Structure 1
Amino acid sequence: MTSLTKKIDITISSSVFTVVIIGLYTTYLTYMLIYDERTWKVPKRELLLALTLLIIVAIRIFSGGYSSKSLLFFPVYTAVILLTNLFIVPQAVSSDILFGTISRITAIFALLAIPIWFFAPIDVGVIKLIRWDDSFLQISSIFANPNALAKFAMVGFFGALLEYNRYQTNVARVLLLITTIVVLLSYSRAVIVGIVIAMIVYFIQTRISSSAAILCVSGLFAGLFCFLTIIYFGWIPFVLNDIHFSGRLIIWEGVVNSLKGEKFWIGYGFMPASETIDPYLPERWHNHGPHNAYYRWWLRGGIVTVITFLLLFWGTIFRHYQAPQTNPAIGALGVAWAIVFLFDASLLIGAGIFPVLISLSLGYLIMDTANIDSTAPDVQS
């Protein structure tokens, strides 16, 4: 077990990964739309919000808010990946298969943490393995940092929970244990808090009632709104100053100071942190990014983008808990992501592993609701 207390860093070419993801999604979507004869259910509300988000991103990029010409292709492949994950994959692949696979991959990552530790450091060009910190109990397996492993394991945790709810197998129990251990050893506080809060909502829904869960989710959203508001206006209680969230309060103050004037409405587009929030931060915190997905959306496209994202993500969570006979594990996964977004800047869009996982999680949340909601129209492929 001592080898599991080391942190490993792995760097893989992001451009290669992006090309592979784009190729896979384009091929998959083309095949499904041409050869699959099923009737696709596309909820109007979520489709409209997703398209609005994509259009805003495209406008901000083409209006000059980008740091690289390669981003000019970003709206195209982003639209393919996002719409496929939201509306196609959840209807073509059962939640059992997808999330069950992720929970098992998490178990493999946990096992890989042991041999990787013995052979690190290794540098073979594409793959680079480095010890993280010998003095700290923290693992990241093959990921770039422990937070990345924790976010992946979080999806695996709820995948194992979903499997346990349906089949009550010993395998599901073991996967729940492994994914829990992985999250704890990653020491990702954002993910741990997200899972704890999501499980509270889960138990309220399953042990008390869906109505009580809706009240709980409403309270969470109200808390989120108040939290972001007091930071924006600088009404920071002394308690939060003492906690300081590993420097995030300083970063968030820099973010809100950068969102004054016209930037409140339109944001900065896809410009790097060095040109957006760094001028408003002490030098120590340069190049850290916003560490908050809600603020990151604000930086990308202004207040309208944040509202659109909230309506899409939180609105789907509300609809999920209001609909009858929805899967509580899938709802809890959505709640967990919504909490993690407070401390992590992962976005819904993109070709990386976490935009894909987030959009898939949202897609299954949407379709789990739409399968019950008869207002969702049928669209023939």
Structure 2
Amino acid sequence: MVRLADVAFAVLFVGVVVRAAVTDLLVPASTLAGIALVVAVVGFSLFDPDGGDHAASLVVHVALVGATALALVLVLTDLTLVSRAVDLALFYLVVLALVGYRRAPLSSTISLFPYLGAFAVVVGLFLLHSLDVSPGSGLAAFPVFATLLLGVCLFVVPRYVEADFLLRFVGALSAVIVLVGLPSLFVGSYSLPFFSVSPWSNATLSPWFVGELPVLRSIFPNPNTLGLLVFPAVLGGVVDLHRTYGRSGSVSLFMVVPGVFLAINAVGLYLTNSRASYLAAAVGLALYAAVVVIDRRAVPVLFAGLAVAAPLVGFGVFRGVVPIDPSNRFALWGASVEALLAGPTLLGAGVVNTSELIAPFLSEGLSGQSSHSSYLSIALRIGLVGGVAYCLLVIGPLIHGAWRFKRVDVGMFALAAGFAVHQLFEGYTLFQYGPGSILAALVVGYVIASVVPEAT
């Protein structure tokens, strides 16, 4: 049954997709932040995962949402308590309280603390650096909105929105976007209300069943953005179909529509020509398939194998043994490391464009390109301290899930592994509000929720 919290989340994610596809002005980040607070209120009002007195818990949660909204107003307007630094500190503290408050005994939630601590370090450093940016600018507001959205996606949504709903909704939305984009491969660009649909003209594919085709990007400005939506839709579709089959014990009509969506998304993934998304989907599918064929006890072994295989494959690509075109990734990564070591190393350079930071360390032909790695992008912005905390957020739940293999949501674990690999090759991070960033944060949040026991 679709619940009110599911609907509120769906509205939030559609807003994220529309913002990425059309323009920031149509769905400003402030609107996303407002919807995120609504999602939190709706979730808090439904039930208390910690058990006990729901009314008392609801009062505390709603008070925290109100305090967060007030702090947002103080940070983003000319109103102020004492100074902008004080306003940011207040916002930081109330967001931590909002996402971290639990009525459960300390003994049952202590395993959540490392993730709350990593979140606190990452967002705290970004907010600290925002003091160096002109108040009222988009760069000053960005860390504020990203902090709230990341916190809600990591620690609130997974407690109140069913994982199965997330998988099905993302699969359906992704399939619709792929279908919207397919005609552009044959007829060229065309327009819809609010959307412009066109193929990617910078590259072509040669599928055996059609001949040469342009690369699919649908309503997004870049095929990699579409790949970031479609690869989790493909993997999520496989997980959803397997779970549906497991519940019924046989192929049923309930599998027809998700199966069609999965087929559409698989075609869409191929047509994006997004090699990082190919790899992420392959990693996630291999992990999930191995667990299905063997059992949950395979999770620690598989994760350890992935941890060993990933650097070996990377070294093989670097040496030319593995036939994958790295697209200058190694040069970009080397320049990023040089820029990080050149300083500021510990706390990073702040809310800046990484392409500007690494430009002095690149050859002229690569000037203007970004680091093309989420981990390096974070390290350049918030230093080694923030980079370690970010890795704890992204990779820590995978290690925790491999350890608690009897509890972990295997489907979300496979998705989180896919996103962890994907972030090696792309510059988006969890601390943003594009579709890929939101999905990655949600998936990590669901893994955390599955390994951190609730009181109920």
For the aligned pair, the TM-score class normalised by the smaller chain equals 0.7 to 0.9
For 1:99, give the aligned amino acid.
L
2:204 is aligned to 136
Unaligned runs of 5+ residues in structure 2 are 1-19, 51-101, 103-108, 206-214, 246-254
- Does the 8 Å CA contact 1:210/1:322 hold for their aligned counterparts? no
- Does the 8 Å CA contact 1:96/1:162 hold for their aligned counterparts? no
Q: Scaled by the length of structure 2, what TM-score is found? A: 0.70
2:303 is aligned to 217
Instruction: Supply the distance in 2 between the matched residues of 1:226 and 1:305 (Cα, whole angstroms).
Output: 26
Match of 2:172 among 101, 104, 114: 104
- Does the 8 Å CA contact 1:29/1:84 hold for their aligned counterparts? yes
Secondary structure of 2:259 counterpart: helix
- Does the 8 Å CA contact 2:317/2:323 hold for their aligned counterparts? no
1:14 is aligned to 24
For 1:338, give the aligned amino acid.
A
Task: Write out aligned runs for 1:152-171 (5 A).
Answer: 152-168=229-245, 169-171=255-257
Cα drift, residue 335 of structure 1: 0.7
Cα-to-partner distance string for 1:328-370 (whole Å, 9 max, x where unaligned): 2211101100111111111101232222111111111211222
Task: Write out aligned runs for 1:122-133 (5 A).
Answer: 127-133=195-201
Structure 1 residue 185 corresponds to structure 2 residue 196: no
For 1:218, give the aligned amino acid.
A
Structure 1 residue 339 corresponds to structure 2 residue 421: yes
Match of 2:386 among 292, 305, 311: 305
Structure 1 residue 50 corresponds to structure 2 residue 119: yes
Instruction: Supply the distance in 1 between the matched residues of 2:181 and 2:317 (Cα, whole angstroms).
Output: 40
Instruction: Supply the distance in 2 between the matched residues of 1:81 and 1:348 (Cα, whole angstroms).
Output: 10
Structure 1 residue 259 corresponds to structure 2 residue 270: no
Instruction: Supply the distance in 1 between the matched residues of 2:201 and 2:142 (Cα, whole angstroms).
Output: 35
The 1:365–1:58 alpha-carbon spacing in structure 2 relative to 1, beyond 3 Å, is: same
Secondary structure of 1:253 counterpart: helix
Between 93-102 and 274-283, report the one with greater CA deviation. Answer: 274-283
Structure 1 residue 247 corresponds to structure 2 residue 328: yes
Secondary structure of 1:136 counterpart: strand
For 1:221, give the aligned amino acid.
A
Cα drift, residue 213 of structure 1: 2.6
2:129 is aligned to 60
- Does the 8 Å CA contact 1:348/1:355 hold for their aligned counterparts? yes
The 1:265–1:153 alpha-carbon spacing in structure 2 relative to 1, beyond 3 Å, is: same
Instruction: Supply the distance in 2 between the matched residues of 1:14 and 1:119 (Cα, whole angstroms).
Output: 28
For 1:256, give the aligned amino acid.
V
Instruction: Supply the distance in 2 between the matched residues of 1:193 and 1:133 (Cα, whole angstroms).
Output: 23
Instruction: Supply the distance in 2 between the matched residues of 1:185 and 1:333 (Cα, whole angstroms).
Output: 21
Secondary structure of 1:312 counterpart: helix
Structure 1 residue 360 corresponds to structure 2 residue 442: yes
Between 188-197 and 314-323, report the one with greater CA deviation. Answer: 314-323
- Does the 8 Å CA contact 1:195/1:336 hold for their aligned counterparts? yes
Cα drift, residue 321 of structure 1: 2.7
Cα-to-partner distance string for 1:41-64 (whole Å, 9 max, x where unaligned): 6632322221221112212332x3
Aligned residues: 358
Instruction: Supply the distance in 2 between the matched residues of 1:303 and 1:224 (Cα, whole angstroms).
Output: 22
- Does the 8 Å CA contact 2:218/2:226 hold for their aligned counterparts? yes
Secondary structure of 1:268 counterpart: coil
Match of 1:24 among 10, 23, 35: 35
2:260 is aligned to 174
Cα drift, residue 290 of structure 1: 0.9
Instruction: Supply the distance in 2 between the matched residues of 1:212 and 1:366 (Cα, whole angstroms).
Output: 19
Match of 2:293 among 207, 226, 229: 207
Instruction: Supply the distance in 2 between the matched residues of 1:287 and 1:132 (Cα, whole angstroms).
Output: 20
RCO higher in structure (CA 8 A, sep ≥6): 1
Between 200-209 and 340-349, report the one with greater CA deviation. Answer: 200-209
Instruction: Supply the distance in 2 between the matched residues of 1:223 and 1:305 (Cα, whole angstroms).
Output: 26
Instruction: Supply the distance in 1 between the matched residues of 2:306 and 2:289 (Cα, whole angstroms).
Output: 15
Secondary structure of 1:269 counterpart: coil
2:3 is aligned to none
Instruction: Supply the distance in 1 between the matched residues of 2:340 and 2:41 (Cα, whole angstroms).
Output: 40
The 1:294–1:240 alpha-carbon spacing in structure 2 relative to 1, beyond 3 Å, is: farther
2:83 is aligned to none
- Does the 8 Å CA contact 1:267/1:302 hold for their aligned counterparts? yes
The 1:283–1:123 alpha-carbon spacing in structure 2 relative to 1, beyond 3 Å, is: farther
Match of 2:375 among 281, 290, 294: 294
Q: Scaled by the length of structure 1, what TM-score is found? A: 0.83
1:6 is aligned to none
1:3 is aligned to none
How big is the alpha-carbon RMSD for the aligned residues of Structure 1 and Structure 2?
Answer: 3.1
Match of 1:285 among 349, 353, 366: 366
Instruction: Supply the distance in 2 between the matched residues of 1:296 and 1:322 (Cα, whole angstroms).
Output: 29
Secondary structure of 2:376 counterpart: helix
Identity of aligned residues (%): 22
Structure 1 residue 76 corresponds to structure 2 residue 86: no
